[in-house]
Amino acid sequence: MKINKEINRRRTFGIVSHPDAGKTTLTEKLLLFGGAIQEAGAVKNNKIKKTATSDFMEIERQRGISVATSVLGFEYKTIKINILDTPGHKDFAEDTFRTLTAVDSVIVVIDVAKGVEEQTEKLVKVCRMRNIPIIVFINKMDREGKDAFELLDEIEQKLGLHVTPLSFPIGMGYDFKGIYNIWEKNVNLFTGDPKKDIEDTVQVNDLSTDEIDELIGTDSADTLREELELVQGVYPEFNIDEYKRGELQPVFFGSALNNFGVRELLDCFIEIAPPPRPKQSDIREIRPEEDKFTGFVFKIHANMDPRHRDRLAFVKVVSGKFERNKPYLHVRSNKNLKFSSPNAFFAERKEVVDEMFPGDIVGLHDTGTFKIGDTLTEGEILQYKGIPNFSPEHFRYINNADPMKSKQLNKGIEQLMDEGVAQLFTLELNNRKIIGTVGALQYEVIQYRLEHEYGAKCSYENINVHKACWIEPKDPKSEEFKEFKRVKAKFLAHDKSDQLVFLADSEFSLQMTQQKYPNIIFHFTSEF
Ligand code: G4P
């Protein structure tokens, strides 16, 4: 069957890391291997420079680049690879969380000198919650960094992973000689030449002979033998099923900048990383090889040109075949929609395509119909789960600064929230609107975009909120819940889907409230 063949040759994944660990560089080298780009430097760095966080041009530049790099598709050997962009900047963490619902596996990049950093911890936690298979790539081996064993320990402890190295470095920094590939049982010698390819790989069948001594010197060879013995003694043997269940994480070492250790990573990746996986909906699990198309929106991107307010919705194909001009049910609105120019994404361009398979990302032009999390089907009423909102970290009242433009303001706020730029809460008491965001930068983005795309002006006012919790009473009719609603009226609001939210003003008051109302569940994500 054609569909099975197409499914089996697809690998859709994300690269996650703390900013500066080398995600962009690694992405670029992977694209070079796929022949998708011709030279280094072709993938623009889409991170916001630290010095320019309040520069609007920088925000716009970022948005422009992030369209181009949202999905990078290319072929390597016979495999169709889709890399989904996951911004490392913490103010865009929510974007990354949502994108992680559309990947089938991830590669985590760690800087050998800095070790496990904050954003990596957060993102890996989300991957673990979903049992996403993870491969770890320890980058910048050409620099002095932490000892390999120390780093592996740190990864296990801070990230809660269960690792096993599939390659092992021979020295590091100034003394970096290369990598022993445990997976392929060969040595790759480091020359520091980014153009270097596979030619320098030397097959080493038996580490006990002096074949290896001749290659790297006796001292290094002895150290390597000892270290590999330790690896064997301490770490479990690689098991692909455990990896696919998210229980075991293979580790590779390399230097993305020098294009070193990247081919090994990629070759192993296409062999072990899972093709598109089944996905849970609210009624049943959907398998990719099912006849009928289903998919969901995980990202919406507004047009850069304010005169055309159409947007691009990114849909992950979960099952069946997506076809151009075929009507699909938009489940939330119960309407049939047809798409005459669905886009597929390649390294530096997008193209209109006739059909797409599970694992692929389709870009659909949208004039305001889609919301993040929406499901498309061939008629079945179902909703994909797994795109929850997390409590924002910043909260501010939003006020209308131009009374003549209140309609524009409301429309703008609604659409920006559908895009997932921030979360809107409406206070129960007086209907005032509160915008909650992950980073402070979003307030400037919202203000700027409301003005330039919707012609509306807003101002913000501080409000003391520590955390938003979604409220679920065990018994909505209980006296306890009624009392909670009365006593805490000032702190209650509704989110965009009208779920009740408690806006706690401090960690202390949150704990006190939880203790006082034991039959009310306080959820920290919107999906429960
Ligand atoms: P990010 O997307 O994860 O934020 O990281 P990015 O690839 O932009 O890499 C961050 C910095 O680390 C870049 O240097 C990059 O050249 C460097 N880098 C990446 N891989 C390696 C490696 O294997 N070895 C060494 N030594 N450096 C590496 P930069 O100076 O910040 O940027 P640029 O001016 O070189 O672009």
Q: How far apart are CA 521 and CA 506, in angstroms?
A: 18
Average pLDDT over residues 129-147: 95
Q: What is the pLDDT of residue 33?
A: 84
- Asked whether 69 lines ligand 1 (CB < 6 A), one says no
Establish if 46 belongs to a structural domain. yes
| 294 pLDDT above the threshold of 50 | yes
Largest CA distance in the chain: 83
Report the nearest-CA residue for atom 34 of ligand 1: 45
- Asked whether 143 lines ligand 1 (CB < 6 A), one says yes
Establish if 307 belongs to a structural domain. yes
Q: Work out which ligand 1 atom sits closest to the CA atom of 21.
A: 3
Span from the CA of 138 to the centroid of ligand 1 (angstroms): 13
- 442 and 368: one domain? no
Span from the CA of 60 to the centroid of ligand 1 (angstroms): 23
Give the count of domains, the chain: 3
Angstrom CA distances, 28 to 6, 244, 256, 274, 493, stand at 25, 25, 9, 22, 45
The CB density around residue 77, as the number of other CB atoms within 10 Å, is 12
Confidence label for 245 from pLDDT (cuts 50, 70 and 90): very high
Q: What is the pLDDT of residue 199?
A: 47
What digits encode the pLDDT tens for the residues 417-469? 988 889 999 999 999 999 999 888 889 889 988 998 889 999 999 999 999 99
Q: What's the sign of the alpha-carbon dihedral 208, 212, 218, 221? A: negative
CB 312, CB 63: distance < 8 Å:
no
Q: How far apart are CA 189 and CA 169, in angstroms?
A: 10
Query: Coil, helix or strand for 358?
Result: coil
| 386 pLDDT above the threshold of 80 | no
- 358 and 217: one domain? no
- 76 and 125: one domain? yes
Confidence label for 86 from pLDDT (cuts 50, 70 and 90): confident
- Asked whether 139 lines ligand 1 (CB < 6 A), one says yes
Asked which of 277-281, 304-308, 506-510 is least confident by mean pLDDT, the reply is 304-308
CB 181, CB 167: distance < 8 Å:
yes
As for the ipTM of the complex, it is: 0.97
- Asked whether 145 lines ligand 1 (CB < 6 A), one says no
- 440 and 459: one domain? yes
- 290 and 234: one domain? no
Average pLDDT over residues 144-149: 95
Average pLDDT over residues 365-374: 89
Q: What is the pLDDT of residue 52?
A: 40
Average pLDDT over residues 357-372: 92
Residue of higher predicted confidence among 35 and 264: 264
374, burial (CB in 10 Å: exposed 0-12, middle 13-18, buried 19+): buried
Backbone phi, psi, residue 349, to 5°: -155, 165
Confidence label for 306 from pLDDT (cuts 50, 70 and 90): low
Span from the CA of 177 to the centroid of ligand 1 (angstroms): 20
- Most informative mutation of 142, 257, 262, 265 for ligand 1 (most atoms within 8 A of CB): 257
Q: Work out which ligand 1 atom sits closest to the CA atom of 47.
A: 4
- Asked whether 140 lines ligand 1 (CB < 6 A), one says yes
Full residue range of the structural domain in which residue 316 is found: 280-377
Angstrom CA distances, 399 to 134, 429, 435, stand at 44, 16, 10
- 434 and 406: one domain? yes
Out of 324, 348, 377, a domain closes at: 377
What digits encode the pLDDT tens for the residues 402-419? 999 999 999 999 988 988
- Asked whether 278 lines ligand 1 (CB < 6 A), one says no
Q: Which residue has the tokens 């006012």?
A: 461
> Looking at this protein, which amino acid is placed at residue 312?
L
Q: How far apart are CA 356 and CA 142, in angstroms?
A: 41
Establish if 383 belongs to a structural domain. no
Q: Work out which ligand 1 atom sits closest to the CA atom of 17.
A: 3
Q: How far apart are CA 370 and CA 385, in angstroms?
A: 16
Confidence label for 64 from pLDDT (cuts 50, 70 and 90): low
DSSP 3-state percent helix, strand, coil across the chain (nearest 5): 30, 30, 40
Quick one: DSSP state of residue 514?
H
Out of 377, 412, 432, a domain closes at: 377
Q: Which residue has the tokens 């100034």?
A: 174
Count CA atoms within 13 Å of residue 440 on its CB side: 3
Establish if 56 belongs to a structural domain. yes
Q: What is the pLDDT of residue 38?
A: 62
| 128 pLDDT above the threshold of 50 | yes
- 351 and 401: one domain? no
Establish if 263 belongs to a structural domain. yes
Span from the CA of 188 to the centroid of ligand 1 (angstroms): 22
Q: Work out which ligand 1 atom sits closest to the CA atom of 27.
A: 7
Of 285, 296, 301, nearest in space to 360 by CA: 296
Out of 275, 305, 334, a domain closes at: 275
- Most informative mutation of 16, 17, 20, 141 for ligand 1 (most atoms within 8 A of CB): 20
Here the CATH number for the domain that contains residue 318 is 3.40.50.300
- Most informative mutation of 25, 66, 258 for ligand 1 (most atoms within 8 A of CB): 25
- 220 and 322: one domain? no
Span from the CA of 31 to the centroid of ligand 1 (angstroms): 16
Backbone phi, psi, residue 258, to 5°: -90, 10
Q: What is the pLDDT of residue 169?
A: 94
Mean pLDDT of the chain: 89
- Asked whether 47 lines ligand 1 (CB < 6 A), one says yes
User: What percentage of the chain carries pLDDT values higher than 90?
Assistant: 64
Q: What is the pLDDT of residue 233?
A: 94
Establish if 52 belongs to a structural domain. yes
- 90 and 63: one domain? yes
Q: What is the pLDDT of residue 62?
A: 62
| 518 pLDDT above the threshold of 50 | yes
Establish if 388 belongs to a structural domain. no
Here the CATH number for the domain that contains residue 514 is 3.30.70.3280
CB 105, CB 134: distance < 8 Å:
yes
Report the nearest-CA residue for atom 11 of ligand 1: 20
Of 396, 419, 523, nearest in space to 468 by CA: 523
- Asked whether 363 lines ligand 1 (CB < 6 A), one says no
Establish if 385 belongs to a structural domain. no
Query: Coil, helix or strand for 42?
Result: coil
Span from the CA of 480 to the centroid of ligand 1 (angstroms): 55
CA-derived radius of gyration, the chain: 25
Q: What is the pLDDT of residue 390?
A: 81
Q: Work out which ligand 1 atom sits closest to the CA atom of 45.
A: 8
- 271 and 284: one domain? no
- 248 and 323: one domain? no
Q: What is the pLDDT of residue 45?
A: 54
Q: Is 172 annotated as a binding residue?
A: no
- Asked whether 88 lines ligand 1 (CB < 6 A), one says yes
- 181 and 88: one domain? yes
Confidence label for 359 from pLDDT (cuts 50, 70 and 90): very high
pTM score, two decimals?
0.86
